[in-house]
């Protein structure tokens, strides 16, 4: 488990024309939702339901979602809203700015007592993520950033790593994918590090805690929007699994996998991540 100092309440004064007010409120909302998750995680006894195969939802997910929506749309009523735990509305498609959130990314880790889950909040403007806040309420790591403000981990400025060689790269992999043996082909060629939550993995790459992450499995916009903002703000690159640029607030919210890294590794990963060569076994 990665330990970090508790996130400090570092608020920036709002100025006309920038995203400081949005960032300040998003950070407060993440702390509020994180406190809800932390309370349920420590107490236990919360209800668990299912939204489909291998897709659990808990009382904590829903309570955190309500808190986020109240705080974010209450402060910015003209912004659109897309959340994993809220019924989608086509109204967001007509909004220039849209909040895209996952109140609890890593629900399986949450249920299993693995402290690798997070609150993920993104603000998208004209299809591009311009603000990201990812908060792990157990380790108290808050990754945050916005256009013009850079990327930070708690109080410190964050940057991606400088690793250039693929065989030296620490790649954060899905726990479920590694359990199914999908990463076996890369052992000996990458340093594979199983880690929970897509949003958390992306934040760790942005914070220089890993060199890259990728998955061939389709993901939803709320899984990756916050991380996409953070990775880009920290100097990294994120595309879909085929190297195509990402846009958000689409009618269909599924994205064809992803590759996120420190930019230096991106071309190399594009060659092996979508279809690992037979000789890599």
- Other beta carbons within 10 Å of 70: 12
What average pLDDT is seen over the chain? 91
pLDDT tops 60 at residue 14: no
Q: Which domains are assigned to the chain?
A: 20-157 (3.30.540.10), 166-280 (3.40.190.80)
Instruction: Return the pLDDT at 12.
Output: 47
Of 130, 125, 152, 127, whose CA–CA distance to 141 is shortest? 152
**Mean pLDDT computed over 32-48:** 94
Read off the pLDDT of residues 98-121 as tens digits, 9 standing for 90 and up: 999 999 999 999 999 999 999 999
**Mean pLDDT computed over 214-241:** 97
Read off the pLDDT of residues 255-280 as tens digits, 9 standing for 90 and up: 999 999 999 999 999 999 987 755 45
Instruction: Return the pLDDT at 18.
Output: 87
């Amino acid at each position: 488990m990665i330990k970090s100092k508790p996130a400090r309440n570092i608020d920036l004064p709002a100025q006309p024309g920038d995203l400081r007010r949005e960032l300040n409120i998003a950070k407060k909302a993440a702390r509020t939702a994180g406190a809800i998750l932390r309370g349920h995680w420590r107490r236990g006894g919360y209800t668990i339901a299912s939204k489909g195969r291998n897709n659990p939802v808990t009382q904590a997910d829903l309570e955190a979602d309500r808190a986020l929506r109240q705080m974010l749309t209450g402060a910015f009523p003209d912004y659109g809203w897309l959340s994993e735990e809220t019924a989608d509305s086509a109204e967001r498609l007509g909004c220039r700015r849209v909040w895209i959130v996952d109140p609890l990314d890593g629900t399986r880790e949450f249920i299993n007592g693995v402290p690798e889950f997070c609150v993920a909040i993104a603000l998208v403007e004209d299809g591009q993520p311009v603000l990201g806040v990812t908060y792990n309420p157990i380790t108290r790591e808050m990754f945050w950033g916005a256009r013009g403000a850079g990327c930070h981990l708690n109080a410190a400025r964050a940057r991606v790593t400088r690793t250039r060689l693929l065989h030296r790269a620490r790649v954060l992999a899905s726990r479920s994918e590694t359990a199914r043996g999908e990463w076996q082909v890369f052992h000996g060629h990458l340093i594979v590090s199983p880690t929970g939550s897509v949003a958390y993995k992306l934040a760790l790459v942005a914070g220089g805690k890993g060199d890259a992450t990728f998955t061939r499995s389709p993901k939803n916009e709320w899984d990756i929007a916050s991380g996409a903002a953070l990775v880009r703000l920290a100097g990294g690159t994120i595309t879909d699994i085929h190297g195509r640029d990402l846009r958000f607030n689409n009618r269909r919210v599924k994205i064809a996998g992803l590759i996120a890294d420190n930019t230096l590794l991106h071309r190399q990963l594009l060659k092996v991540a979508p279809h690992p060569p037979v000789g890599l076994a």
